[in-house]
């Protein structure tokens, strides 16, 4: 389970949105938001697959653990799904938000 930091002010940019998802309560460890945003954009563009993993890790300067963490979080949130070994964008996140709105309005 993961917590998305909700604030009184709505995120104005995609970067702010990712910062609220990939926030760290430990200030010694940097947020993975910039890397997550780049990986998500690559998935959206269709330029992301297992074969490019080493290249992506090198370009972003992240370890395999950090790479796996970002993908796991994107999947858990419903922003992406894995289908036949390939990552694709998903509408599950939006569906979950719609259900939350339904609960709040009843």
Instruction: Give the pLDDT confidence score for residue 4 in this predicted structure.
Output: 61
* Six-digit token string for 75: 């999947």
Instruction: Give the pLDDT confidence score for residue 30 in this predicted structure.
Output: 74
Confidence at 37, pLDDT banded by 50, 70, 90: very high
Name all contacts of 39-48 with Cβ < 8 Å and 24+ positions apart: 39/67, 39/70, 39/71, 39/74, 40/74, 40/79, 40/80, 43/74, 43/80, 43/87, 43/88, 43/89, 44/89, 48/87
Taking the complete model, does pTM exceed 0.85, yes or no? no
Where in the sequence is the domain holding 40, given as residue range(s)?
14-24+31-105
Backbone φ, ψ for residue 63 (5° rounding): -85, 170
Average pLDDT over residues 13-31: 77
* Structural domain includes residue 57: yes
* Structural domain includes residue 48: yes
Helix, strand or coil for residue 89?
Answer: strand
- Residue 67's CATH number: 1.10.10
The pLDDT tens digits of the residues spanning 49-84 come to: 778 889 999 999 999 999 999 999 999 888 999 888
Instruction: Judge whether residue 28 has pLDDT over 60.
Output: yes
């Amino acid at each position: 389970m993961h917590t998305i930091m909700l604030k009184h002010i709505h995120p104005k940019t995609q970067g702010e949105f990712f910062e609220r998802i990939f926030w760290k309560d430990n200030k010694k460890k940097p947020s993975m938001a910039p890397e997550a945003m780049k990986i998500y954009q690559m998935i959206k563009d269709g330029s992301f697959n297992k074969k490019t993993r080493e290249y992506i890790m090198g370009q972003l300067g992240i370890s395999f653990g950090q790479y796996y963490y970002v993908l796991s979080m994107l999947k858990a949130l419903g922003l992406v799904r894995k289908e036949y070994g390939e990552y694709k964008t998903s509408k599950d996140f939006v569906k979950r938000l719609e259900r939350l709105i339904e609960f709040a309005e009843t």
